[in-house]
Structure 1
Amino acid sequence: MEPPHLAFLHRMTLNDAKRTLRAAMLAWRRGLDDEARRAAAQGVIATLRAEKPFEIPSTVSGFWPIKDEIDLRPLMTELHAEGCTLALPVVQGRGQRLLFRVWRPGDALEAGVFGTVQPLSRCEAVEPDALLVPLLACDREGWRLGYGGGFYDRTIEELRRKQPVTAIGVGFDGQLLPEVPHGPDDQRLDWLLTDRRASAFV
């Protein structure tokens, strides 16, 4: 399914353009059928194996799929089998960065905020070497559109100040657009990983 054509976004303010693009991409993603979703979940495994955007083993944060996001659980299972320490994000509160707690396939999860699930509070907190980042859209310069809370932008900015970290946007290939509106608080991704490509941003 082709992504929407949104050239008219240039005539809007930044916030309006982001809001319009979010709505369009959420609708586009809802339209994907189950077969396309299953194929994409396996496709990201193949593209990651082909390009290797981060060291394996290492500490990697993934995400549990919500709102029709691509399903990373098969990929996370593969990474765990290859010796990676896995973590899932925890929203600590509005305006704060994300916390990451260790998670292993089969571990229990608890409800978080905004419809998320997260590792139990007793699980160890870690800082990832690589972040698999959910997205609604990404462009060829590495600018990402998320849900508007700024959690990943704040987190990536803080981590980059402290240590080398690789931020990899993960989604369906149709979420790659020619251009995504962005502002001074947005953080560029280092890589894009989809079911059809793994692209580094220079």
Structure 2
Amino acid sequence: MTLIDTKRALRADMAARRQSLGESMRRAAAASLRDLFFLEAPIRLPAVVSGFWPIRDEIDVRPLMDALVDAGAQLVLPVVQGRGQRLLFRAWRPGEPLEAGVFGTLQPPASSETREPDALLVPMLACDGEGWRLGYGGGFYDRTLADLRSRRSVTAIGVGFDLQLVPEVPHGADDQRLDWLLTDRRACAFV
């Protein structure tokens, strides 16, 4: 099997695992994610933090984003600029309008201020104990992290359900490791 085939198979398996979670478990997971973030404090606030609007069956990071704003963070949300490009980040506060983006996402309008994050909450399908993350396959976060890290220090925090932690995520030369993993049951830094 090629790297692409191996990743494709793991994506399908992990998407099915995530879909199996019930609504009450999802709500509890979102609250637990928020609480663990502030218990473990993977970043110092105030900071510019990139959140994301959850799609499909992703863990709901909106309670965490609300709490980050209350703690003094400036939120930004990612905007897909086009295939093969890195993400752009626009300022946003809970309650402000959003518009439709690609892949079913919501994003701040073009009139919103563009800012670069100090830390990124990164959606994922899977993560392993070394900090390798499996996303949806577009490479947007990998390109973005590579670009940001070439110029300054940023913290990438993979967020998801604890069942998304796997023994090994296949990875290639263009994949970027996470600095932290935050789930509904754990928060840990990768060395």
Q: TM-score range by the shorter chain?
A: over 0.9
**Residue 167 of structure 1: aligned partner:** 156
Deviations 1:118-137 (A, max 9, x none): 00110000000000000000
Deviations 1:21-73 (A, max 9, x none): 00111111111000110011001111111110011111000010001100000
TM-score, with length taken from structure 1? 0.94
Taking the aligned partners of 1:83 and 1:191, their CA distance within structure 2 comes to 21
Q: Runs ≥4 in structure 1, deviation > 3 angstroms? A: none
5+ long unaligned stretches in structure 1:
1-11
Report the equivalent of 1:199.
Answer: 188
- Distance in 1, matches of 2:56 and 2:132, equals 21
Task: Give the equivalent residue in structure 2 for 1:61.
Answer: 50
Q: Which amino acid aligns with 2:103?
A: F
1:112 counterpart residue number: 101
| Aligned-partner residue type, residue 57 of structure 1 | P
For residue 144 of structure 1, the aligned residue among 125, 133, 139 is: 133
Corresponding residue of 1:19: 8
Amino acid at match of 1:69: E
- Secondary structure of the corresponding residue to residue 117 of structure 2: coil
- SS of 2:104's partner is coil
Match of 2:86 in 1: 97
CA apart distance, 1:139 = 0.1
Cα distance per residue 1:154-173 (max 9 Å; x no partner):
00000001111000000001
2:146 pairs with 157, 167, 170, which one? 157
Task: After TM superposition, list the pairs within 5 Å mapping 1:32-111 onto structure 2.
Answer: 32-111=21-100
Deviations 1:147-190 (A, max 9, x none): 00000000000000111100000000110111111111100000
Q: How many residues align?
A: 191
Identity of aligned residues (%): 69
Q: Which runs of 5+ in 2 are unaligned?
A: none
